[in-house]
Structures are given as structure tokens and as C-alpha cells.
Amino acid sequence: MSQDVVADGLNQIMNAKKARKHEVTLEKHSKILRKILDLAKEAGYLDYQVLGNQLKVQIAEVHEIKAIKPRYTVAVKRINFYVRRFLPARNFGFVIVSTSKGIMKHEEAEKQNIGGCLLAYIY
């Protein structure tokens, strides 16, 4: 376990998926990790519940969900470069960007014409 709660949580989800488990309980979580899981939940990749100070994550349709390290800061014109770098194909998953207007998908950040810090990708 490192000090990066987001990367640790996403790694635990991927390890559970590789072990063919359908749910995993995360002991450590943060608001940023919950917002990332909210975006994944909206897209139908997984579902989660908050139970006290634990997160119970049910894995559904996710192929891969990983944190981007280092967290690159990008202008809106350069987002597409990193989308092509991290995602396997067009319109297949999304990159999660932390902007001044909040945490959102890369498509929404491009529509609003704002750049930010790349947090994770999911497909």
C-alpha cells in the first residue's frame, strides 16, 4: 500500500477482476476515488456502496481501470494525444480529467474547452 489512495483502490479492483471475483471491499478511499467510481458507475462499468468507512465495489463490465502516473497536466488541445495513448480504440472507454470545474470525462472537458490533470482511464 502506497500513499496514493486512488491508485491503490483502482489496483485492488483490477486485482479482484483478474482473480475472477465479482466484488471487492476497499478499506481506504477518498472523495476523488468516489468521484472516479461515480463516473464508472454512470457508464455501467461497476457499482459501489459506502458501508461505514468501507467501499464495497461490484465489478460488472470493466476491462481495465487504472490510475495515470504521473498525473500529467494537459491543455485542452493535448487531451486527445493522451486519449490515444491510454485507450485501445476510439469511442471505447474514457479518460478521467480533474479540471477547475470538477472531475469529468475527457469528452466533457473538451466540450467545455478546459484542460486539467489526468487521473485515470477506464474501458
R_g of the chain computed on alpha carbons: 14
pLDDT tens by residue, 49-106: 999 899 999 999 899 999 999 999 999 999 999 999 999 998 899 999 999 999 999 9
Residues 6+ apart with CB under 8 A from 89: none
Residues of the chain above pLDDT 70, percent: 99
Displacement of CA 108 from its chain's centroid (Å)? 15
Single-letter amino acid code for the residue at 110: E
> What domains lie within the chain, and their CATH numbers?
5-59 (3.30.1370.30), 68-122 (3.30.1490.10)
Question: pTM score, two decimals?
Answer: 0.92
